[in-house]
Amino acid sequence: MEISGTAPILIPAFGNSTQFESILDTIDGLLLTGGLANVEPHHYGGPDFPDDEAIDPERDKTVLPLIRGCIERGIPVFGICRGIQEINVAMGGTLHYRVHVLPGKNDHRMRRDTDIMTERYELRHSITLTPNGFLHGLLGQTETMVNSLHGQSVDKVADGFVVEALSPDGVIEAIHMPDAKRLTVGVQWHAEWHPQKHDLAKKLFGEFGDAAHDHAANKQI
């Protein structure tokens, strides 16, 4: 609210019962938050989850069509953590189930050795922004520090999207749809954690707000 100048509303995860057209007629931007559960692999042709994996099928059924509807209508989309994964899956991309078991990858999961939120969300590693990419243009430099609280990550990037940032071990940390009518971007770190104190996060929320205001000013009533 402070940075984007927008009025947030929550969209319930009603799954197939969701009135998608009514929601798309109402909103001027879609912010996709993180979450405990992961996108189920049948949405992208991945191997089945273990039986004890946390899932949220109603969120999957709600969010994936909304993402496609927003992009079709030119409604800006900003995905955070699970949100970048949802964007990628909704548009035809795939995910790695567990980053830390892949050869040469680090453990990007949330710290389990502390319950102190400031420690869990502290800056953990650098990311390198794609030279002359969207994020590079926003920040004006090609490297910054981010937090890390995820088990999955983007594997095959959806058609129409480009990689905007990588971690030192090669994990995709941001994607962007350059030909989208309005801002369509996802980041793997938790940009909502004190964005006033993180230059790139602050700029992303500002861009999202600008795009939402532009949609509001130009949509057909």
Which one from 176, 190, 198, 215 is the annotated catalytic residue? 190
φ and ψ at 46, to 5 degrees? Answer: -90, 170
Contact 64, 71 (CB under 8 A): no
The verdict on whether 190 is a catalytic residue reads yes
d(CA 197, CA 167): 20
Two tokens at 92? Answer: 């035809």
Q: Closest by alpha carbon to 126, among 169, 160, 155, 164?
A: 169
Is 10 exposed, middle or buried, given 0-12, 13-18 or 19+ CB atoms closer than 10 A? exposed
Q: How many CA atoms lie within 13 A of 172 on its CB side?
A: 25
Determine what percent of the chain falls in helix, strand and coil, rounding each to the nearest 5: 35, 15, 50
Which one from 86, 164, 173, 192 is the annotated catalytic residue? 192
Contact 25, 70 (CB under 8 A): no
Which one from 40, 70, 81, 136 is the annotated catalytic residue? 81
d(CA 100, CA 206): 32
The verdict on whether 42 is a catalytic residue reads no
The verdict on whether 70 is a catalytic residue reads no
Catalytic residues: 81, 190, 192
